[in-house]
Structure 1
Amino acid sequence: MNVILIAGGWSDEREVSLVGARKIHEALNELGHDVTLFDPAEDFKNLLSLAREADFAFINLHGAPGEDGLIQAVLDKAGCPYQGAGAAASYLALNKAASKEVFQDRGINTPDWQFVTPVQGRDTELELELPVFVKPNKGGSSLGMSLVKRAEDFPAALDKVFAMCQSALVERFIPGVELTSGILGDEALPLVMITPKSGADFFDYENKYAADGAEEICPAPVDEAVTRTVQAQMKVAHEALGLSGYSRGDFILTETGETYLLEVNTLPGMTPTSLLPRAADAVGLSFNDLIARLMELGIGERG
């Protein structure tokens, strides 16, 4: 097939996208496809015409564009199938505050939160007990995130977010172990347990993408009941957000066995150290198998 691999973009996660694209490009070639790498940051105006000539588009973008649904909307106009969520579901999932509304509506535990905009300003009152995470309401890779332990540090954390995003999500810190749960098609993949490297307060950008950044164990060494609970909640969240193909959710497991869903990613990372490929490998799917399966799902839904 004639495949356009869409990567790069203009978000703060551009470099992560390009790193993952190299591995995907290699896999697509090995699967026998003709691949054209397309970077919307360099040639956005030609996306529609290029997509009309392609058999499939593989999207490997993080943040906006990509996870905001813009690229998917253009591909829909071109009649070009692609993997993962559609435009509307992508936009909803990228907005952390809106997603948490959906989680709560479906009875899924999520940490208490507060939504803050520049209109309210850096001096808005903190409504949650410390410590809290302050993070961009849209975006990923933990970029722009702060763990605030003192009230006097709250305004600076908001400034950090507002420098890169028009809204902030303030979220109550829940101590515990981080688990990720992936969905592939209609199936829940094995959980991954993440332990940040010594000295790190949380699973930040360096932990996520450095080769020795964190210990990631798959399948996660947790009780089977915990695994079933997290996977069930992930399936509910995936369906409630209207997602398709695949997704990955980030959870916290507390010492008392409670689980909290933090957010859902519609275009999970595909770098050599990424979590979804690791979970797929645990059920016998090589990286090339995973790429082929994602294409199969995308064509089945939009072909």
Structure 2
Amino acid sequence: MTNSNLLPDNARLAVLFGGEGSERDVSLNSGAQVIAGFKALGMEPVAIDVPTHQLADAIKSERITHAFIALHGGDGENGTVQALLRSLDVCFTGSDTLGCAIAMDKQRSKLIWQGAGIPTANFVVVDRRSDWSDVKALLGEKVMIKPSREGSSVGMAVVTNADDFRTAVDQAARFDDEILAERWISGNEYTVAILGDQTLPMIRLKTNHVFYDYDAKYLSDDTEYLCPCGLDAEQEQEIRAVALKAYRLLGCSGWGRVDVMTEDDGSYFLLEANTSPGMTDHSLVPIAAAADGMDFKQLVGRILELSVTP
């Protein structure tokens, strides 16, 4: 394997992608793009797409020293793969074990943010026994239902009545046994990409869907990504600073993304942090990096430079 000056001469780099989770298809796409990016840098990474229980053997057999994690959701993003790589003394991209575990858990992320005074939408934990009238009294006539530990908008739904509430909770329960009902925010959605100690230009996500769901993220050609995002410079800088602080509060590092929504009165609320964002041609971090003058191969190189060292 040929290495650029990003790695020591004896290093062996792998791209981990695919996996077993609900976001496998997205991860396959991300992994292919990342591999192409490294090849453009003159590197030949080893492509590894195996179930988690086979990952240690694959890492050992290929004598891997560094891993770019292009897995999304599940074990690839909840700290499991990170703990495994750390135990094998393999350097890896993204956040360390604890940061991944907390960021993947929306409920605990939001509790940390609330405790630190970071604005995030009010929520309650619900299950099949929960009563819509109680949820409505706490959060309003329209709420978002979401699994606490999923990504890519998997299992999410907007509800406005008891029947839809029951259906949405049943759907979310297919993906996680911990489910959130969150106050609906009717304004614009944005994302803040994070690269080391730097935030990249914000992107506004504009879709004709009810919200920025899986189809809008990965399948629709109608979704618009606006950068510049349309906020005035002062507000954008404020949100970017708060997003970076919020990311650090969860124990996250390296690279990632924080999603934000604004309301008409100028207030804003952080939705969640993502420690292994997509790297597809529809993905937001590459778009933000390009707006900052960084092409895709430079982006994957920079992410690799920010790797966790066991």
TM-score by length of 2: 0.91
1:221 is matched with which residue: 212, 227, 230? 230
- Equivalent residue, structure 1, for 2:86: 76
Match among 59, 84, 106 for residue 116 of structure 2 = 106
Residue in structure 2 matching 1:232, options 226, 241, 251: 241
Q: Select 1:251's aligned residue among 248, 260, 271.
A: 260
Which residue pairs with 2:7 in the alignment?
A: none
Whether 1:27 and 2:34 are equivalent positions in the alignment is no
For these two proteins, the number of residue pairs brought into alignment is 296
2-side partners of 1:46 and 1:211: how far apart?
38
Q: What is the aligned counterpart of 1:65 among 75, 78, 87?
A: 75
Deviation, structure 1 residue 17: 0.3
- Any idea what SS the aligned residue of 2:153 has? coil
Contact 1:219 1:279 in 2 (8 A): no
One-letter code aligned to 2:112: V
Q: Which piece of structure 1 moves more, 143-152 or 124-133? A: 124-133
Find the aligned partners of 2:60 and 2:180 in 1 and give their Cα distance: 37
Question: Residue 269 of structure 2 aligns to which amino acid in structure 1?
Answer: Y
Q: What residue number does 1:140 align with?
A: 151
CA distance in 2, matches of 1:256, 1:50: 56
Residue 48 (structure 1) shift: 4.9
Q: Is 1:290 the counterpart of 2:306 in the alignment?
A: no
Corresponding position of 1:85: 95
Deviation at 1:249, TM superposition (A): 0.7
| Alignment partner of 1:55 is 2:65 | yes
Deviations 1:22-79 (A, max 9, x none): 111111122122211112328335145247x213100011111111011110110111
Moved segments of 4+, more than 4 Å = 122-125
Of residues 41-50 and 257-266 in structure 1, the stretch that sits farther from structure 2 once superposed is 41-50
Output one character per residue of 1:252-279: Cα deviation in whole Å (capped at 9) or x when no partner: 1111100100001001110011001100
Deviation of 1:123 (Å): 4.9
Could you give the per-residue CA deviations for residues 55-106 of structure 1, whole angstroms, max 9, x where no partner exists?
3100011111111011110110111111110011100000000000111112
Cα distance in 1 for partners of 2:242, 2:56 equals 40
Equivalent residue letter for 1:131: K
The 3 A distance-change label for structure 1 pair 4 and 50 is: farther
- After TM superposition, the structure 1 = structure 2 runs for residues 112-123 of structure 1, keeping only pairs within 5 Å, are 112-117=122-127, 121=129, 123=131
2:174 maps to 1:167: no
Which amino acid letter does the alignment assign opposite residue 288 of structure 1? K
Contact 1:122 1:156 in 2 (8 A): no
